[in-house]
Amino acid sequence: MQILKRLWPLYRPGLPLVVLSLTQIALVSLLGTAQPQIIRFVTDLVLENGEWQYLVPGALAVIAVAVVQGGLRFGQRYTMEIVSTRVVAQLRAQVYSHLQRLSWAFYDRAQTGELMSRVTADVDAVRMAAGMALVNGLTHLGTIVAVVVAMFLMDWRLAIVSLLFLPLLVHAIARFQAGSRAAWSDVQARTAELSAALQENIAGVRVVKAFAREEGEIARFRTANDAFQAANLRAIRVSAFWTNYMNFLTAVGAVAVLWYGGRRAMTGAISVGTLVAFNAYVTQLAGPVRMLGMAISHFTRAAASLQRIYALLDTPVEVADRPGARDLEAVVAEQGTTAAAPDGADPAGGDGTRRVAGRVTFEDVSFRYPGGEAVLQDIHLDVAPGMKVAVLGLTGSGKSTLLHLIPRFYDPTAGRVLIDGVDVRDVTLASLRRQIAIVPQETFLFSATLRENIAYGRPDATQEEIEAAARAAQIHDFILSLPQGYDTVVGERGVGLSGGQKQRIAIARALLTDAPILLLDESTSAVDVATERLIQKALDRLMSGRTTFIIASRLSTVMKADLVLVLEDGRIAARGTHEELIRRDGLYRRIYELQLRPVEEVV
């Protein structure tokens, strides 16, 4: 009931169509009771009175009723499909919108395949129930009610006999609903697991082939597939057993009607036409009862899917705009903090200054993941506008987490992160992230043109601006060498481009946003000397005049940094310039010796 209450607002805009469909359903049910009455009338006239002239008109009347019923069924199905299509479109949009708002922490835990299953398979199950199954279920229910009322109006004794098995039928429907819901919940869970296994395999297919693990992956997928098949078979067994059991009860009721009604007809208590009509009514009940069972199966499957969908929709957004959050540029402008735009960059303020200077401050910042150990502890840091900060440390030392706190991918568990003296939690996420350009270690390119990929952060950018960013990123000439130039479509994750080319496209994307703060996770992938030189030139252009945080893998980049941070166990173990740190005995010096000094000296 709670699920239906939540689903109702989606139906409300289509209420007139719902009312129209329900009216058509009522008319179909009433017309369904008319056919046996026509048969009863004609049978009595022909058999008892020998008035054969009524046979043809009676047959035509039955056909006319069937034609009208057919038209009404088409109308009710069509109108409800319109409503259900709109409902499902809104539901899918709600799920997708919520997925866009969920925080990074959610995606750290979530499986892509399972999320895809909820957006596709679960929503499709709801579409089936909200459309065809709902119409059929209401139609069959209406037919059952109308037929039972008609039977009692004709002969209450015979009606009672025909419905002696109704309590057993109600019990069967209740058991069917309970068993079907559990079975289909398991099916939906197995579907999500299967989707997750498939998505993970496709995403990691190069690793699979590199280690010749095809057979192992086939076996792993077969296990998930077998579990999915077994769950489906269990659901089918539940449906088949209870549906056939309900059919059996209906058939027993028909036999009881023929036995008792036949005896009453022989004594003259009822006419032969009444017996024929009663038998027609009992036959009419068989189909709706059976189909009602199938509709219940669809509804229970949809209920299981809706539970999974609403569990996702109820997932809290851990990082969101606070009530009263303001635009970062507006707040900084009120404070009067400005800084000169970098050479060659378009000033955000239009007056030669940036409204956001780019000063980044960490005040007593600590962070831990829910239920986990501390990742960052007592971070104190004040980075002036335009400074280049290189962050080094062993795996798990908190380098990425430190950078992720600046655009509020996570919120610190203690302390504050400030930009130009403004707590990042006091401004809107959109205004905050407009001031930050990010170049990740692994570049993701959408299935779109190179123009669209470069302009992703600024969809309104002109072609001239896009080309200028590409030139600065040392990728313009390569793009022009392609047959379709900037209109070249790249596949998922930029398949078909080298690692260096994808990284330069990511740099062009960051350049085009012209943000005062840059977060850079240098790629560790090996590239040739020429590509390395192009990437370094592009990075130098990108970092010029911007407050830059670099998770550095190239010591050449570190040596150019104004400040080097060395993280150990979530703390800043050392800070200073390259020249200062190299004179100290610590982690930075060991990393430097391992990467730059001859192997013999290190050994």
Would the pLDDT of 598 be above 60? no
Do 295 and 140 contact (CB within 8 A), yes or no? yes
Query: Minimal CA–CA distance to 587: which of 559, 566, 556?
Result: 566
So what's the pLDDT on residue 169? 74
Helix (H, G, I), strand (E, B) or coil at 371: coil
Do 328 and 356 contact (CB within 8 A), yes or no? yes
Do 357 and 339 contact (CB within 8 A), yes or no? yes
Query: Minimal CA–CA distance to 66: which of 38, 94, 92?
Result: 38
SS (H, E, C) 452-472: HHHCCCCCCCCHHHHHHHHHH
Range from 170-174, 227-231, 290-294, 342-346 that averages highest in pLDDT: 227-231
Residues in the chain: 603
Half-sphere exposure for 40 (CA within 13 Å, toward CB):
19
CA–CA separation, 46 vs 505, rounded Å?
A: 87
- Report which of residues 178 and 314 the model is more confident about: 314
DSSP letter string, 275-328: HHHHHHHHHHHHHHHHHHHHHHHHHHHHHHHHHHHHHHHTS--SS-PPTT-B-H
Compute φ and ψ for 353, nearest 5 degrees.
-125, 160
Residue 464: Cβ within 10 Å count: 8
CA–CA separation, 39 vs 35, rounded Å?
A: 6
Query: Minimal CA–CA distance to 509: which of 557, 465, 553, 479?
Result: 465
Helix (H, G, I), strand (E, B) or coil at 602: helix
Compute φ and ψ for 322, nearest 5 degrees.
-70, 155
Range from 182-186, 240-244, 360-364, 541-545 that averages highest in pLDDT: 360-364
Question: What average pLDDT score do residues 583-601 get?
Answer: 70
Let me know how many helices (H) and strands (E) the chain has, helices first.
25, 14
* Cα-to-chain-centroid distance, residue 147: 44
Mean pLDDT is lowest, of 295-299, 505-509, 538-542, 584-588, for 295-299
Q: Is 470 exposed, middle or buried (0-12, 13-18, 19+ CB in 10 A)?
A: buried
Q: What percent of the chain has pLDDT over 90?
A: 23
Reported confidence tier of residue 416, pLDDT bands at 50, 70, 90: very high
Mean pLDDT of the chain: 82
CA–CA separation, 369 vs 381, rounded Å?
A: 21
Q: Is 498 exposed, middle or buried (0-12, 13-18, 19+ CB in 10 A)?
A: middle
Q: Which residues contact 214 (CB under 8 A, 6 or more apart)?
A: 208
Reported confidence tier of residue 21, pLDDT bands at 50, 70, 90: confident
Would the pLDDT of 236 be above 90? no
Question: What average pLDDT score do residues 215-227 get?
Answer: 86
So what's the pLDDT on residue 341? 47
Query: Minimal CA–CA distance to 340: which of 322, 361, 357?
Result: 357
Question: What average pLDDT score do residues 425-430 get?
Answer: 94
So what's the pLDDT on residue 494? 52
Q: In this predicted model, what pLDDT tens digit does every residue of 346-366 receive, in sequence order?
A: 434 444 444 789 999 999 999
Would the pLDDT of 229 be above 50? yes
Would the pLDDT of 387 be above 70? yes
Would the pLDDT of 426 be above 90? yes
So what's the pLDDT on residue 527? 61
So what's the pLDDT on residue 340? 46
Structure tokens at 489: 């479509």
Would the pLDDT of 599 be above 60? no
CA–CA separation, 304 vs 326, rounded Å?
A: 40
CA–CA separation, 414 vs 366, rounded Å?
A: 5
Q: In this predicted model, what pLDDT tens digit does every residue of 24-63 receive, in sequence order?
A: 888 888 888 888 888 888 887 776 677 777 778 888 888 9
Cα dist from 55 to 39, 45, 50, 62, 272, whole Å = 9, 9, 10, 11, 15
Residue 379: Cβ within 10 Å count: 24
Query: Minimal CA–CA distance to 405: which of 379, 371, 431, 387?
Result: 379
Reported confidence tier of residue 526, pLDDT bands at 50, 70, 90: low
So what's the pLDDT on residue 33? 84
Compute φ and ψ for 229, nearest 5 degrees.
-65, -45
Question: What average pLDDT score do residues 250-258 get?
Answer: 79
So what's the pLDDT on residue 353? 44
Residue 550: Cβ within 10 Å count: 26
* Cα-to-chain-centroid distance, residue 59: 54
Reported confidence tier of residue 492, pLDDT bands at 50, 70, 90: low
So what's the pLDDT on residue 379? 94
Cα dist from 443 to 46, 502, 570, whole Å = 84, 6, 26
Helix (H, G, I), strand (E, B) or coil at 408: coil
CA–CA separation, 327 vs 331, rounded Å?
A: 6
Mean pLDDT is lowest, of 192-196, 474-478, 489-493, for 489-493
Range from 99-108, 309-318, 417-426 that averages highest in pLDDT: 417-426
So what's the pLDDT on residue 528? 67
Domains and CATH numbers, the chain: 2-313 (1.20.1560.10), 331-435+548-603 (3.40.50.300)
DSSP letter string, 471-515: HHTT-HHHHHHSTTGGG-EE-GGGTTS-HHHHHHHHHHHHHHHT-
Reported confidence tier of residue 542, pLDDT bands at 50, 70, 90: confident
Q: In this predicted model, what pLDDT tens digit does every residue of 116-149 receive, in sequence order?
A: 878 877 887 777 766 666 777 777 788 888 888 8
* Cα-to-chain-centroid distance, residue 416: 32
Q: In this predicted model, what pLDDT tens digit does every residue of 432-461 receive, in sequence order?
A: 999 999 988 888 888 889 999 999 989 999
Q: In this predicted model, what pLDDT tens digit does every residue of 310-354 receive, in sequence order?
A: 888 889 988 999 999 999 999 988 886 544 444 444 434 444 444
So what's the pLDDT on residue 349? 41
Range from 16-20, 154-158, 328-332 that averages highest in pLDDT: 328-332
Has this prediction a pTM greater than 0.85?
no
In eight-state DSSP terms, residue 384 is: -
